[in-house]
Structure 1
């Protein structure tokens, strides 16, 4: 087993242990716990919070991927270039407004819960996917595109069979950045009653219990590291398969 795979096994094992058997780590977190306070967060199952956290990130990221890729395809077509400024404005919208501000604006319309968090993560995640997809579709090898036209492929066939596969490594890079940002940003959803790991961190801040903050932050951090690594491996595999460095 390589050193990288060995480290992955350790990180995965640590994450599973923290989520499924957090009481095993009580001696480690106890020094950070105020006298008389509970060491391990027990108001809600850490497994339940983790699954809900990842579910919210997955839904928001999927929506961001669909919208960002479709927008990028539109503005890289001859008939859609006029929409590039508008598309860039839409993609930049989430980055212009902080997620907390989006939550505050969304709560009156959607109420408390996962809804405002989904909107905030969706808006915040569009830009990196849109920019990378647009770059990937705009920098395709001219010789390859000419060959695709030469064998009689239609525009739709060229898009599906040539352009998107060649642009996939860059698209995956944008998705990786977007998803990892969403994993960390989703914690603020607990300020509007979304069921995320931010609940543990907020509880620790409100009760001055640093052990709660460490537990929530460590689990979120491990999820981010593992998902970042998995998407990086997928991107590397895709580049090798396509012969792109």
Structure 2
């Protein structure tokens, strides 16, 4: 029973989250004590479901681009002809961690305008580092015996990369993606300060009107999404690890 408890709790969290997004007014009695008598307990300036889907879409697009760029960079610097670019690549992927998200947004807005674009840039920069470092670690720590066997079988460099190196590296790469997505889910809320459609709208509306219920709605939805996606990617990582027989 104890082994199943986390799964049951995650399933319950998912059900509650979906129920709240589909019918938020059902939960109004729970949130009503948190607001003044005449104040709305449920966010009423837009659809929570639409904001959640837009939030996830923004994070997904930024993370997908970060995955492609980070993995390609890691592959480049682990090849003999690209090893000299490792310091430069590390500097590039660390840009997002050097500046706070608000500073990245402030620098991006004059270049691309308000809306989703500056948020995508910020999420992309913040998502690079975990994926790049995990991919780099995985590709540089592959079992020597496996690599020698691949060379001995007559595989070309490209074949070894696609059929041996990347498949064996997948669990560690997925771990990096998991961290990147979690960072992105939280950081995306700040995008609402530059007119991006994210769950940050709900939190900002709550702060402006001193409505604790709004703040909790935005924060808890983001938190629930982070937990569910983090656990989902952790399950994928464990499945890949078992399938590949990695200790």
Common fold, TM-score beyond 0.5?
A: yes
Task: Quote the residue 2:156 is aligned against.
Answer: 154
User: Do the aligned residues in 2 keep the contact of 1:34 with 1:208 (CA within 8 Å)?
Assistant: no
What SS does the corresponding residue of 1:112 show, helix, strand or coil? coil
Shift of 1:31: 1.5
Shift of 1:158: 0.2
| Total equivalences in the alignment | 245
The answer to whether 1:188 aligns with 2:181 is no
* Equivalent in 152, 170, 194 of residue 168 of structure 1: 170
In 2, the alpha carbon distance for the partners of 1:68 and 1:157 equals 20
In 2, the alpha carbon distance for the partners of 1:93 and 1:242 equals 34
The answer to whether 1:14 aligns with 2:16 is yes
In 2, the alpha carbon distance for the partners of 1:20 and 1:111 equals 32
Gaps of 5+ in 1: none
| CA offset digits 1:69-94 (Å, max 9, x no partner) | 00000000011000000000001000
| CA offset digits 1:48-85 (Å, max 9, x no partner) | 00000000000000000000000000000011000000
Shift of 1:4: 3.1
* Equivalent in 117, 138, 141 of residue 139 of structure 1: 141
| CA offset digits 1:82-119 (Å, max 9, x no partner) | 00000000010000011110100111111110000000
* Equivalent in 182, 197, 206 of residue 199 of structure 2: 197
In 2, the alpha carbon distance for the partners of 1:4 and 1:103 equals 37
Gaps of 5+ in 2: none
Task: Quote the residue 1:216 is aligned against.
Answer: 218
Task: Quote the residue 1:58 is aligned against.
Answer: 60
Task: Quote the residue 1:87 is aligned against.
Answer: 89
Task: Quote the residue 2:77 is aligned against.
Answer: 75
In 1, the alpha carbon distance for the partners of 2:145 and 2:70 equals 27
Shift of 1:16: 0.3
**So what's the TM-score if we normalise by structure 1?**
0.98
